[in-house]
Structure 1
Amino acid sequence: MRIKVIKIFGWLLVLTLLGGGLYYLQLSNRHKAIVKTTILHKSGLGGDWQVSYGGRQTDFYSPLFFVDNIYTSMEGPKAMRGFQINPSTEDLLWINGYETTVVAADGLTELSRDFMCHTNLDYYDQSYYSKWQIPNRIGSNYPRLATLTNGMESYHYPEGFGFPIKANEYLYLSTQILNHNLKESLFGVRHKVSIFHKADSPDIKPLRPLTVFMMLPYDGENPFDNEAAKTDPSVCIPVETKNHSYQDSDGNMRSGHWVVFPGKQTYRSDISAQLEVKDSIQVHHIATHLHPFATSLKLINTDTQKVLFTADAENHLDRVGLAKITEYSSTEGFTLYADQQYELVLEVNNTSTTKQDMMASMFFGIYDADLDARLKSRFEN
C-alpha cells in the first residue's frame, strides 16, 4: 500500500512539473522574466537589497539580475522596495540629484548602461502632502519623483532647487534591466541607485514633480489589427492593453506604449489636460524617457508654435540602444500658462527591419510657490 501511495505522489509530481513547464513555455518574455526573477529572489540566490547611507548621498544596490535573454523595454527582470533616505533621523533634507549605474555581481565592477531599462523613484503622495497640509494635491498627479532611463542614467536639479522630504519618510524604488543586443548570454548584473541630497537651508527652492506623457488612440475592439497605424501617426497599435492604457474624456482608448514600424514617423499628443495649469507654472527641470529609435521629443506651445524644449535622443550606431538624451536644467526656467495649449511632438526613425515599441514621457520639476511659502515660514518664526 505504501509503495502504491509513493508511486501516485511521484506521478502527480511529474505531471505537475510537466504542466508547469508547458505553462511556462507559453508565457510572454516579460512574464517568463517575472517567474525566473521571483524564484531567484525568493530562494535567496539573488541576494537582497543593500543600502549605504551617507551625508550627501544614499546608495541602493539591487538584488542580482540575470541577463539570459533579449529583453526589450519593459520586459526584463525587475526589483522593487520601499526605503528611507536615512531612517535614523527626522531631519528635512533636499533631494537634488539621482543616478543609476550598472555593476557586476560583485557590486563594484561597472558594466555597460545598456543593461538599464529604467529606474523609478516614487513618493507616497497621501502621507507627503498630508504632512505639508496640502490635501487637495493627493491623487492629482502620478506621484513619481523621478525616472532614469537608458540614455538618461543621471540628472541633477539646477543649483538652489530640490525636493524637500524628511530623511525617514518612505519612498518607493523600482528598477528593471534591459538587453537589446546580447543573445545566448548568461551573466549577473545589479543596479546601483544613488540619491543625492543636501541639508535643509532657507536658500533652496522646492520643485514639485509633474509627469506628462504621450498617448495615442487605438481601436478598443480590435486593438492589434489596424493597418492604418503603419502610415497614420494619429492612431496606434498598443503593445498590450493591460498596461499603459487609458480612456479619455470622450471614452476613446489611448495607449502610452505603442508599436512603431520601420521608417521615419512623427507623433503628436496634446498634454494640456495632463498639465492642469490653474494660473501659471514655472518649469526648471525636465527629464525625458524615450525608447530606442526615438530621435527627439519636443514640448511645444501650440498657440504660439514656440518650441519650449527639445530633448534630442542619440542612438547607438553599432547596436540598438540610446547613448544620450538631452536634459533640461535651468535656474531661470520657462513659464506654462493656463490659457494656452501644449503638446509633445515625437520624431522616430526606426532603422531596423521590424516593428519596435515606443514610449515618450517628460518629468517636470516645477517651482512650488505654495510649499516654498510654508517652508520659509519655519525660518521666519
Structure 2
Amino acid sequence: MRIKVLKIIVWLSLAAVLGGGLYYLQLSNRHKAIVKTTLFAKLGLSGDWQVSYGERQTDFYSPLFYVDNIYTSMEGPKAMRGFQINPTDSSLVWVNGFETSVMAADGITELSKDFMCHTNMDYYDQSYYSKWQIPNRIGSNYPRLATLTNGMESYRYPEGFGFPIRADEYLYLSTQVLNHNLQGPLFGLRHKVSIFHEADGPELKPLRPLTVFMMLPYDPLFPFDNEAAKDDPSVCIPVETKNHNYEDANGVRRSGHWVVFPGQQTYRNDITAQLEIKDSLQVHHIATHLHPFATGLKLINATTNELLFHAQAVNHKDRVGLEKIVEYSDAKGFTLYADQQYELVLEIDNTSGERQDMMASMFFGIYDADLDTRLKSRFEN
C-alpha cells in the first residue's frame, strides 16, 4: 500500500513538473523573466537591496539580476521597493538629481549602461500634497518623480531648483534590466541608483514633476492586425493591450507602447490635454524616455509652430541601443500658455529591417509657484 502511494506521489510530481514546464514555455519573454526572478529571490540567490545614506547622496543597490536572454524594453528582470532618503532624518531636503549605474555582481565593477532599461521613482501624492495642504493636486497627474532610461542614465536640475521632501518620507523605486545584444551564458549584475539632494534653504525654488507622453489610437476589435499602421503614423499596432493602454475623452482607445516598422517615420501627438494648463507653466527641466531607433523627440508649440525643445537621440552604430538623449536643464526656462496648443513630434529611423517597439515620453520639471509661496513663508515669519 505504501509503495502504491509513493508511486502515485511520484507520478503526480512528474505531471506537475511537466505541466509547469509546458506552461512556462508558453509564457512571453517578460513573464518568463518574472517567474525566474521570483524563483531566484525565493531561493535566496538574489540577495536584498542595500542602501548607503549620505549627506548629499543616497545610493541604492538592487538585488542581483540574472541575465540569460535577450530582453527588449519592459521585458527584463526587475526589482521594486519603497524607500526613504534618510529614515532617521525628518528635515526637509531638496532632491536635485538622479543617476543609475550598472554594476557587476560584486557591486564595485561598473558594466555597460546598455543593461539599464529604466529606473522609475514615484512619490506618494496623497501623503505629499496633504502635508503641504494642496489636496486638489492629489490624483491630478501620475506621481512620477523621475525616470532614468537607456541613453539618459543621469540628469540634474538647474542650479537653485529641486524637489522638496522630508528625508524620512516614503518614495517608491523600480528598476529593470535591458539586454538588446548579448547572447551567452548566464551572468549577474546590479543597478546602483543614486539620488542627489541638498539641505533646505530660502534661495531654492521648487519644481513640480509633470509627465507627458505619446499615445496613438488603435482598433480595439483588431488591435494587432492593422495594415494601415505600416503607412499611417496617426494609428498604431499596440505591443499589448493590458499595459500602457488608455481611453481618451472621446472614447478612443490609445496605446503608449506600440510597434514601429522598418524605415523612417514621423509620429505626432497633441499633448495639450495632458498638460492641463490653468494659467501658464514655466518649464526648467525635461528628461526624455525613448526606445532604440528613435532619433529625436520634439516639443512643439502648435499654435505658433515654434520648436521649444528637441531631445535629440544618438543610437549606437555597432549595436542596438541608445548612446545619448539630450537633456534640457535651464534656470531661465520657457513658458507654456493656456490658450495655445502643444504637441510631441517623434522621429524614427528603424534600420533593423524588422519591427521594433517604441515609447516616447517627456518628464517636465515645472516651477511650482504655489508651493514656493508656502515654502518662503517659513523664512519670513
- Fold match (TM-score > 0.5): yes
Deviation at 1:7, TM superposition (A): 1.1
Match of 2:304 in 1: 304
Write out aligned runs for 1:1-381 (5 A).
Answer: 1-381=1-381
Deviation at 1:198, TM superposition (A): 0.1
What's the CA shift string for 1:64-102, capped at 9, x where partnerless? Answer: 011100000000000000000000010000000000000
Q: Please list every run of 5 or more consecutive structure 2 residues that lacks an aligned counterpart in the other structure.
A: none
What's the CA shift string for 1:278-319, capped at 9, x where partnerless? Answer: 000100000000000000000000000000000000000000
Deviation at 1:3, TM superposition (A): 1.4
Equivalent position amino acid for 1:146 in 2:
A
Deviation at 1:377, TM superposition (A): 0.6
Equivalent position amino acid for 2:93 in 1:
L
> In 2, distance between residues paired with 1:39 and 1:155?
34
> What SS does the corresponding residue of 1:366 show, helix, strand or coil?
strand
> In 2, distance between residues paired with 1:207 and 1:185?
44
> In 2, distance between residues paired with 1:249 and 1:157?
33
Taking structure 1 as the reference length, the TM-score comes to 1.00
> In 1, distance between residues paired with 2:263 and 2:42?
43
> In 2, distance between residues paired with 1:313 and 1:347?
10
> In 2, distance between residues paired with 1:189 and 1:303?
47
Deviation at 1:4, TM superposition (A): 1.2
> In 1, distance between residues paired with 2:169 and 2:4?
58
Question: How many residues are treated as equivalent by the alignment?
Answer: 381
What's the CA shift string for 1:17-62, capped at 9, x where partnerless? Answer: 0000000000000000000001111221100000000000000000
Percent identity between the two aligned chains: 80
Computed over aligned residues only, the root mean square deviation of the Cα atoms, in angstroms, reads: 0.5
Equivalent position amino acid for 1:97 in 2:
G
> In 2, distance between residues paired with 1:359 and 1:4?
57
> What SS does the corresponding residue of 1:52 show, helix, strand or coil?
strand
Moved over 4 A (4+): none
> What SS does the corresponding residue of 1:36 show, helix, strand or coil?
helix
> In 2, distance between residues paired with 1:76 and 1:171?
23
Deviation at 1:117, TM superposition (A): 0.2
Deviation at 1:359, TM superposition (A): 0.1
> What SS does the corresponding residue of 2:340 show, helix, strand or coil?
coil
> In 2, distance between residues paired with 1:184 and 1:203?
52
What's the CA shift string for 1:142-161, capped at 9, x where partnerless? Answer: 00000000000000000000
Q: Please list every run of 5 or more consecutive structure 1 residues that lacks an aligned counterpart in the other structure.
A: none
What's the CA shift string for 1:326-380, capped at 9, x where partnerless? Answer: 0000000000000000000000000001100000000000000000000011111
Equivalent position amino acid for 2:351 in 1:
T
What's the CA shift string for 1:141-191, capped at 9, x where partnerless? Answer: 000000000000000000000000000000000000000001133110100
